[in-house]
């Protein structure tokens, strides 16, 4: 599974949840997810869908706060 870098991770609404923010081509997105979806370096597990120039289309593990499931991120935001 692919991973994307998160910028900020804070405790979420539930006991085992976290709120993670990621940088997308359209701005910042917040995602509430189970803490097991993050690794020790705070990279979030995502579904990879494809590339378009310097961008990657990814699928988030849960719907973002703005209602998005799929977002474009810079390739540099993905784990190597």
Per-residue pLDDT of 41-55, as tens digits, reads 999 999 999 999 999
Residue 27: pLDDT band (50, 70, 90) is very high
Rounded CA-CA distance 27/16 in Å is 26
Burial of 80 (0-12, 13-18, 19+ CB in 10 A): exposed
Mean pLDDT of the region 14-32: 95
CA neighbor of 19 nearest in space, from 4, 3, 8 = 8
Q: Does the pLDDT value for residue 1 go beyond 80? A: no
Rounded CA-CA distance 53/28 in Å is 20
Q: pTM for the full model?
A: 0.89
Rounded CA-CA distance 35/16 in Å is 6
């Amino acid at each position: 599974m692919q991973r994307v870098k998160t910028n900020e991770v804070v405790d979420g609404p539930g006991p085992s949840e976290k709120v993670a923010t990621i940088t997308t081509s359209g701005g910042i997105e917040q995602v509430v997810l189970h803490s097991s979806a993050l690794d020790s370096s705070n990279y979030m597990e995502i579904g990879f869908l494809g590339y378009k120039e310097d961008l990657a289309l990814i699928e988030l593990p849960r719907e973002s706060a703005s209602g998005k499931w799929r977002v474009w991120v810079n390739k540099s935001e993905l784990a190597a």
